[in-house]
Amino acid sequence: MKRPVRWLKPLPLRPRDTVHVVAPAGPFDRPGFDVGLAAIAERYNAVHAPDIFSSHRYLAGDDTRRGGELARALTDRDARGIFCARGGYGSARLLPDLPLADASHSAFVGFSDLTSVHGALQALGRVSIHGPVLTQLGRQPPEVRDYLFRLLESPEAPPPLTGSATYVPGMAEGHLVGGNLSVFSRLIGTSYMPPLDGAVLLLEDVTERPYRLDRMWTHLRLAGVFSRVRGIVLGDFTGCEERDANFSSADVLRDLAREAGLPCAAGFPIGHGDINYPVALGTHVRLEADAARLTFLEGAVRA
């Protein structure tokens, strides 16, 4: 799929704007949800459907409930934002029936399993926010919440983020795509894969043993992903260690990055760790791998 000629950014949020809270993936714990909901309700008019607390096996209700909820949020012209309750699993099941082409100009916020929705939005040239879900937001430090609100409300480029390690030196610029490695790899061969040519690829994951990380990364390589992107940003790989092994997940990822040969820095505070800074997928960024710095060259919302 060719890169869109022009990326469409969401409208900026303003205090007291209406935002939708949706659960397109897995069921969630009520206490964590309530804390996250309170965090956004202090700033915006947060609304959700009465049946958002539904549960069907490993999903937050059946596909009809979850898909209808997300479709209504996506097409509501009177709202400015969409916040997801939790990741888990299930968002990809909804993609064929979502009215993505008719989506309003709301900012979509989520990560993990919501990588599938991000990919579908980027495939249509839309910017969206890879950021905390509500069950995680309540545990985030104030500086992360402030960063999120600034990202959603200001058209100015946000401050850069810094990682902890250089895997492959060099510099790369391009539009940011990606998210959760497990989910992103499942988009290969579908119409929901975001435009890759000239992109900077963000990857993170949770509770995937090193050989599984290797397997998914190799899938990306065999599918030609690393021949199309310009650089790789690695966030948190939380709980991805092999018990009693004499190697770490970082050892494996470092070797894989060196094989790819693209500028790559790791340890960015993005993903399932204690700190999950939001980033705008589809916006232009610069990766300075030598300094493990990710600089945002534009804001996430319209001026």
Please list the active-site residues: 112, 204, 272
Using an 8 Å Cβ cutoff, are 23 and 85 in contact?
yes
Instruction: Pull the structure tokens for residue 75.
Output: 């097409």
Query: Residue 36's closest CA among 149, 112, 107, 136?
Result: 136
Q: Using CA atoms of 63, 64, 67, 71 in order, give the dihedral in degrees to the nearest 10.
A: 170
176: left (phi over 0), alpha (psi -120 to 50) or beta: beta
Q: How distant, in Å, are the alpha carbons of 150, 229, 251, 252 from that of 213?
A: 33, 19, 11, 8
* Cα 34–Cα 40–Cα 42 angle in degrees, nearest 5: 100
Question: CA separation (Å) from 256 to 126, 253, 266?
Answer: 30, 5, 12
